[in-house]
Chain A
Amino acid sequence: MNRNAKFIAGGGVIAAALAYMIYAGVTQSAVYFITPSELRAAPVSGKAYRLGGIVVPGSVQWNPASLELAFTLSDGRGSVPVRHRGTPPDLFGEGRGAVVEGNWSREGHFTASLIMAKHSEDYKAPRGTSGAGYQDLIRTLEKDGSSR
Chain B
Amino acid sequence: MWKWLIPLSVVPVIALLAYGFRVNPRDIPSPLVGRPAAPFALRTFDGAPVMLESLRGRVVVLNFWASWCSPACYDEAPTLERSWRSYRGRGVALVGIAIQDKQEASQKFISDFSLSFPNAPDPDGKVSVDYGVYGVPETFFIDRTGRIRLKHAGPISDELFRTEVEKLLGEPALDPSVDSQEKGG
Residues of A at the B interface (CB closer than 8 Å) are: 35, 37-38, 52-54, 56-57, 74-78, 94-97, 99, 118, 120, 122-129, 131
B100 close to A57 (CB less than 8 A): no
Contacts of A125 in B (CB 8 A): 134-135
- B182 located at the interface, meaning its Cβ lies under 8 Å from any Cβ of chain A in the complex: no
Identity of the chain A residue whose Cβ is nearest the Cβ of B148 in the assembled complex: A76
Residues in B neighbouring A78, C-beta threshold 8 A: 31
On whether the beta carbons of B66 and A126 are closer than 8 Å, the reply is: yes
- Does the CB pair B154–A97 fall under 8 Å? no
Q: How far is the CA of A131 from the CA of B31 in the complex (A)?
A: 30
- Contact between A35 and B28, CB atoms less than 8 A apart: yes
- Please determine whether A122 and B155 come into contact, CB atoms closer than 8 angstroms: yes
**Once the chains bind, are A76 and B132 in contact (CB under 8 Å)?**
yes
Contact of A57 with B125 at beta-carbon distance under 8 Å, contacts A122-B71, A126-B136, A131-B68 already known = yes
How many B residues touch the partner, as a band? Answer: 20 to 34
List the interface of chain B (C-beta within 8 A of A). Answer: 26, 28-32, 35, 38, 66, 68-69, 71-72, 75, 99-102, 124-126, 128-137, 153-155
A24 → chain B, closest Cβ, in Å?
23
On whether the beta carbons of B134 and A52 are closer than 8 Å, the reply is yes
Contact A54–B35 (Cβ < 8 Å)? no
Q: Identify 24 residue pairs between A and B in the complex whose beta-carbon atoms are under 8 Å apart, listed by A's number.
A: A35-B28, A35-B132, A37-B31, A54-B129, A54-B134, A75-B31, A75-B32, A76-B131, A77-B31, A77-B32, A78-B31, A95-B100, A95-B125, A99-B28, A120-B26, A122-B72, A124-B69, A125-B135, A126-B135, A127-B68, A129-B100, A129-B101, A131-B68, A131-B100
Cα A120 to Cα B136 in complex, Å, equals 11
Given contacts A76-B38, A76-B130, contact A123 B135 (CB under 8 A): yes
Question: Do A75 and B132 touch across chains, with their CB atoms under 8 A apart?
Answer: yes
A-side contacts of B71, CB under 8 Å: 122
Known: A54-B132, A95-B99. 7 other contacts (CB 8 A): A35-B28, A35-B29, A53-B28, A54-B128, A54-B134, A76-B130, A122-B154
The CA of A120 and the CA of B26, in the complex, are separated in Å by 10
Q: Kindly list chain B residues whose C-beta atoms are within 8 Å of the C-beta of A76.
A: 30-32, 38, 129-132
From the candidates A52, A53, A57, A96, name the one contacting B124 in the complex (CB within 8 A).
A57
Which residues of B lie under 8 Å from residue A37 when comparing CB positions?
31
